[in-house]
Amino acid sequence: MRVLPTFLSLRSFLDWCGDTGQLLRVADKVSVRHQITAVHRAVLERGGPVLRFDHPTLAGGSPAEIPVVVNLFGTPERVAAGLGITLDRLDELAAFLAALRSPSPPDGLRDALSRWPMLKAALATRPKIIKAAPVHECVLEGPRVDLSALPVQNHWPGDAGALITWPVVVTRPHGSAMSEINRYNAGVYRAQVISSDRVIMRWLPHRGGAAHHQSWARQGLATPVAIVLGADPAALLSAALPLPETVSELTFAGALNGARPRLVAAKTVELMVPAEAEIVLEGWVSPSELAPEGPFGDHTGYYNPAEPFPVMQVTAITHRQTPIYLSTYTGRPPDEPAIIGEVFNRLALPTIRAQIPEIRDLWLPPAACSYRIAVVSIDKRYPGQARRVMMALWGMLPQFSYTKMIIVVDADLDPANWDDIAWALATRMDPSRDVMLVENTPMDYLDFASPRAGLAGKMGIDATVKIASETGRHWGEVMKTAPADAAFAADLLSRLMPDKGA
């Protein structure tokens, strides 16, 4: 399935970006306090390259010894490259991932042989455990732990402090063994640095890391945690994908890479970590100690209020001899999470269709914080079908439980075309009949429009053509140019206006 080389480390991906003209090295001194974010945002909005700041300065003005890389996934093309493919192969990868997730029995030997890529991908999920790893070239434990030496950014003027924004946080549930990699969770959760050896873990209740922490806390025990900074692109993207809870992100990265993931035992906690990572922060999250996290600028375009989250005591920092610090910012789209979300939207479509077959296409407008609004086109066959699709989507994945508005249109329209949506709303929707409101449903507590934190309403809008018992009127016929007339017009214009094209 891969058409690009296997990127087993962040730096191998950066080498590829450099070879393809997608990496810009910045020699100027740029501060981790606000300035890197300002430059990053300006470059991302232009669809620009990966940025490597070779001489970042810390908040106090002193030089940092570790370079900062941002805008890694600042374009859809680089997100696809991180998955090992080009943009035109996304649909193939989406179908492959859907089949890998819910395989059907082979129909004879020929069909079985055709599935060798799927078998190879499954075998690639088996991790390879090694004893010596690049991430352990330097090991700092106990009093040598000093998070202030890392170029952790302070992104926005109203931020409470330094915030780690691109970590892959590795956990396992209580009762599991260190060797049970298939039970690990690897998620992207921001972490606020509050001292030289302590961070606050922002774990939302519905995420896998929070569930693992609760399993340890119920026993009165601290949770072993490894914060991976600068993982390989497949691991980074797997940690961001909405995978089923039964699928380990670390092993799924092996399927994306087409190569077994290389893991090594951490030094001070019983966890396996990516061997090729740039930096790993090891430690324990307290079962009871909380600290106010925030405020920080968030993906909604607002600062979220300070709220209590668990505290992690860092017991070790391990890193390569010359490490790279990977970072990003979150804010009102466009930002990297929104761009990643655009690609993941296409990857998720076959899986969504497997659950809700009548869906033809789905669009999550990036400007709506990626998932707050969904527009769906369906093959409509019976009355009430649009509402059934709405309810099925809200209950399908945890992410869709935060989608506050779903607009359903017919298959003759493009759900990613606002003109088509506006036309459908104006001509196929009656507000008194076609709007469904649901109260007191789960909502991202950062949504300030919700009446109560964590609870809000949902709106479903049926903008499909009404059929059978849905209407008592004869529905109008959509106007279309006859194919023969369209061909005649194209031929005539190609002769009259050759420079404009047909």
Catalytic residues: 298
Residue written as token pair 């909005």: 45
Alpha-carbon torsion (191, 169, 217, 396), positive or negative: positive
Residue 309 near residue 296, CB atoms below 8 Å: no
Q: What is the DSSP string of 106-122?
A: P-HHHHHHHTHHHHHHH
Q: Which residues contact 188 (CB under 8 A, 6 or more apart)?
A: 166, 167, 168, 169, 236, 239, 240
How many Cα atoms occupy the beta-carbon half-sphere of 328 within 13 Å? Answer: 28
CA angle 400, 406, 410 (to 5 degrees): 125
CA angle 128, 129, 132 (to 5 degrees): 125
Residue 420 has a CB neighbour count (10 Å cut-off) of 18
Rounded Cα gap, residues 211 and 398, in angstroms: 14
Rounded Cα gap, residues 198 and 227, in angstroms: 12
Dihedral angle over CA of 261, 267, 271, 273, nearest 10? -20
Alpha helices in 76-203 (DSSP H): 76-82, 90-101, 108-114, 116-123
Q: Which residues contact 352 (CB under 8 A, 6 or more apart)?
A: 359, 362, 393, 396
**Phi, psi of 214, rounded to the nearest 5 degrees:** -65, -35
Cα radius of gyration (the chain): 25
Nearest Cα neighbor of 192 from 304, 55, 279, 274 is 304
Rounded Cα gap, residues 261 and 274, in angstroms: 7
DSSP 33: B
Rounded Cα gap, residues 498 and 235, in angstroms: 50
Q: Which residues contact 83 (CB under 8 A, 6 or more apart)?
A: 93, 233, 234, 237, 256, 343
| CA 288 to chain CA centroid, nearest Å | 29
